[in-house]
Chain A
Amino acid sequence: MAPPVQPREMGRDLARRDGPDKVRGLATYADETPVVAPLYCAIVQATIGRGAVTGIDADVAAALDGVVAVLTPDGAERLADTEDAELAVLQSADVAFRGQVVAAVLAETFEVAREAADLVAVTYRDDGHDVRLSPDRDDLYTPESVNPGYPTDTHEGDVAAAMATAPVTVERTYTTAMYHNNPMEPHATTARWDTSGGGHLTLWDSTQGVHPTRKTVATVFGLDPHQVRVVCPYVGGGFGSKGTPHVNVVLAALAARAVPGRPVRLALTRQQMFALAGYRTPTVQRMQLAAERDGRLTAIAIDVVEQTSRIKEFAEQTGVPTRTMYAAPNRRTTHRLAALDVPVPSWMRAPGECPGMFGPEVALDELAERLGMDPVELRIRNEPEVDTETGKPFSSRNLVACLREGARRFGWADRDPRPGIRRHGDWLVGTGVASSVYPTMAMASSTARVRFAGGRYTVTIGAADLGTGSSTVLPQIAADALGVAVGDVDVLIGDTAHPEASVAGGSSGTATWGSAIVEAAGAFRDKFGAQPPDDAEAEGSIQPNEATERYAMSAFGAQFAEVAVHADTGEVRVPRLYGVFAAGRILNPRTARSQLVGGMTMGLSMALHEQSLVDPRFGHVVNHDLAEYHIASCADVADLQAHWIDERDPHVNPMGAKGIGEIGIVGTAAAVVNAAWHATGVRVRDLPLTLDRVLGLTG
């Protein structure tokens, strides 16, 4: 790893470089890529939960004026690689879940494509489906590892013995709902296949990683990666759902290859996103805590049950944060999966940490209640000296500082711990706290190129800006690494024509791409010195960080919520939500605050509203739009603040920065639920915190 970069531009409050275009609507997203005479692709989805297509009558659809092609499993191109069953679109008659793609129409206009898709008549053999997740199923299985490669189970000491002998215990089950990422920009691709020179595919795709998308698409179609270009200047949000290509990308490419030379537009409808674009599994979390009377934990255990799809496994690492969060000599974490006839679950903002800090952080609140101890103090008392999982020291760990600073800002000190005693008019009021954590990661490979011409430096790297601010922050890093002013640096991202970059995932983007830029800047100065000639150019790639062998690395935070519950209706409001984070150097306070506030807002949304409801009779999410899958709106957010403490960590990367894209959503829901208990005395253990639950009417 390169030595630390001296911050001059890093840490400055700079406005987004793409802001002026975004407020006018001139930023170009995938579906509005300017192309000549595009065809529109409309999807036909399976109306059974499991079975097979027995016949497709596309005659009426095909006869419609303006229809160019109807793609079906019979006629569609055979893919070179169908190992990833999620992506093997139109390759067989099998139906693995309701909503799966069974046909697609290409037409001259969007309206005709939609009409024709409706006219495609599909008959099925219905084999019956099974979509019920329950911890009592007898076919739960143990995955080999959990995302992205953690051990499935961990054991240390004897939790059962500790539970049997401890003076105070908590043993409860908590659940989180099924969630859909729902970025505001639906998944979209504009695709064109040109046959000249052996064939070339261009995808203007909404993706968190142009190079990973290229790799996947090239593999699926048996193309050389150089035959595929993926371009993505802007992403209208992803939150993990654009981290790995879903079936829509492959279908867009397949459709384009059916009409060489013609551009094809394929945008999922909002409803289709609930079946085809990934989601977070519901989780069942059985928690066990054992403690001494002074609050010291003697055991902590989480046993997780969640779902995956029968055609492709994704095991959310829900139990993982419990492995490192608090000290306890006896520990256990396990994951068991039910493989169901459901769409394939995938990444959603802070996979693992987000659901996995709900059960433990509410259980801790219950423990504090039983102990008669302040929940902030209880957390501080269980602060581990080293990472309990690996035995390594943390490169920096400031959870306690976050808890104390948050308590100070929030005015926690005078809190009366008794629940259900504060009434302001019709509203019962309470406060709650929870911790946040997110691992500090970097991807193994990414390359950047620095070029000097006409007095300016241009850095190119196939990175992505999903709204995170990377197109503003990467120039700050580049400027400091080159020792020039940020105004002299341009950074171009989002194109496989640039050097290869990793996916924007795991809050690793800035750390990974920034490290590559630092290496490229170093190589550039080594080669050309301070007075480079025009067209001077050098590349550099992220190097392994030896410090990861010596240190555990994570960002931490604490969230404090004030909740008001209407005494008669059970309506829940969150007048205040404060987060304090310790995430290394904050490279740009303006964009960082927006990221943290955005994460907390999504956590608030998860606490109060979000749940995808599956109808077991039909096997699909019935509330599959934004009118019924509620996300937080403007009126849900009142006094919501993100702060951070000044944390210096020379070990994580040359910038000293930890990822901040995901930690904001971690712990929020627990803080809100804990505050609702403090307000009402009703302990809700299942999300979301709907009024029936907070009134104690339903479990």
Chain B
Amino acid sequence: MDAEIELTVDGRRRRVSVDTRTTLLDALRQRLAVASPKKGCDHGQCGACTVLLDGRRVLSCLTLAVAQDGAEVTTADGLAAEGPHPVQRAFLDHDAFQCGFCTPGQVCSAVGALDEAARGWPSAVTTDVAAEPELDRAEIAERMSGNLCRCGAYARIVDAVQAAGRDGGAR
């Protein structure tokens, strides 16, 4: 069954017809030609498809498009609408990627994670959940662990997210 929905993708209003089984990821990639989010597993296990949905990071492969009528979606491409986002700058400066396939998801995830930390949300490694979380390496690594990178750029990703966090990377 098909359904017609409206999404705002990277600032542009788009109407699109989707199969009710179409994921947000496939709606973006296959129906709207927005290929910035990647499909690494299609099962919510790798993070490559991470986008910001109404400002929060989500796995677009686990999100049914039909349920998101009217939603606002920001991809890594959209983050760079006015020049590279501080997180993207930091990824470039720290060479926090190799093949680049996980990278749009890492970037969106990092933006989401920095925002969550700025709101005071604790993670599994936060010792004092009442205090303002301090973004040390362990905190960042924990918060970024939903995004796999087979090229093994993790050490650099943590450097980059830490640097972006210092520069107010949530933007």
Contact = CB atoms under 8 A, between A and B. Distances in A.
Contact of B22 (A111, A625, A627, A641): A111
A1 interface: no
Contacts of B43: 270, 625-627
A633 B141 CA distance: 8
Nearest to A270: B41
B75 interface: yes
A267 B93 CA distance: 32
A142 interface: no
A593 B95 contact: yes
A185 B41 CA distance: 9
Contacts of A186: 39-40
Contacts of B53: none
Interface string B9-27: 0000000000101100010
Interface residues of B, number: 58
B91 to A, nearest CB: 5
B153 A598 contact: yes
A15 B39 CA distance: 26
Interface string B94-112: 0101111111100100000
Nearest to A33: B35
Interface stretch (A194-202, A229-237, A300-308, A521-529): A229-237
Interface in A461-484: 466-469
Most A C-beta atoms less than 10 A away, residue of B39, B75, B76, B137: B39
A627 B146 CA distance: 11
28 contacts: A16-B95, A19-B97, A21-B100, A23-B80, A23-B103, A24-B77, A25-B38, A29-B38, A29-B101, A31-B39, A111-B26, A184-B99, A184-B149, A234-B100, A237-B151, A267-B39, A270-B40, A597-B155, A598-B98, A598-B152, A600-B152, A601-B152, A626-B40, A626-B41, A626-B148, A634-B142, A636-B154, A637-B141
- Which of B19, B79, B150 is the most central at the interface, judged by chain A CB atoms within 10 Å of its CB? B150
Nearest to B109: A634
A510 interface: no
Nearest to A22: B100
A270 B42 contact: yes
Interface in B88-134: 88, 91-93, 95, 97-104, 107
A25 B76 contact: yes
B154 A239 contact: no
A633 B91 CA distance: 18
Contact of A467 (B48, B77, B100, B137): B100
Contact of A185 (B91, B92, B99, B144): B99
A34 B157 CA distance: 30
A22 B148 contact: no
B33 to A, nearest CB: 7
A632 B149 CA distance: 8
B7 to A, nearest CB: 17
Contacts of A29: 35, 38, 101
A237 B95 contact: no
A506 interface: no
Nearest to B29: A32
Contacts of A597: 152-153, 155-156
A600 B153 CA distance: 10
- The CB with the most chain A CB atoms within 10 A, among B30, B91, B101, B107, is that of B101
Interface in A415-441: none
B58 to A, nearest CB: 16
Given A25-B38, A111-B21, A602-B152, 12 more contacts: A15-B93, A19-B91, A25-B75, A29-B35, A32-B35, A237-B98, A270-B43, A467-B99, A625-B45, A626-B46, A634-B145, A637-B158
A392 B3 CA distance: 71
A601 B154 contact: yes
A185 B155 contact: no
Per CB-CB distance, the 3 closest pairs between chain A and chain B, nearest first, are A601-B152, A25-B36, A467-B99
A25 B35 contact: yes
A543 to B, nearest CB: 30
Interface in A629-684: 631-638, 640-641
Given A34-B33, A631-B150, A183 B99 contact: yes
Nearest to A628: B45
B99 A236 contact: yes
Nearest to B149: A184
A306 to B, nearest CB: 23
Interface residues of A, number: 64
A234 B153 CA distance: 17
Contacts of B97: 19, 22-23, 467, 594
B98 A594 contact: yes
Contact of B158 (A24, A234, A236, A634): A634
A234 B137 CA distance: 31
Nearest to A239: B150
Contacts of A26: 36, 77
A236 B38 contact: yes
B53 to A, nearest CB: 16
Contacts of A25: 35-38, 75-77, 103-104, 107
A468 B107 CA distance: 20
A20 interface: yes
A599 interface: yes
Given A466-B99, A468-B98, A23 B141 contact: no
A591 B147 CA distance: 21
A7 to B, nearest CB: 20
Given A24-B76, A601-B155, A626 B45 contact: yes
A186 B156 CA distance: 23
B165 to A, nearest CB: 15
A466 to B, nearest CB: 6
Contacts of A16: 92, 95
A595 interface: yes
Nearest to B124: A635
A234 B99 CA distance: 8
A236 B137 CA distance: 26
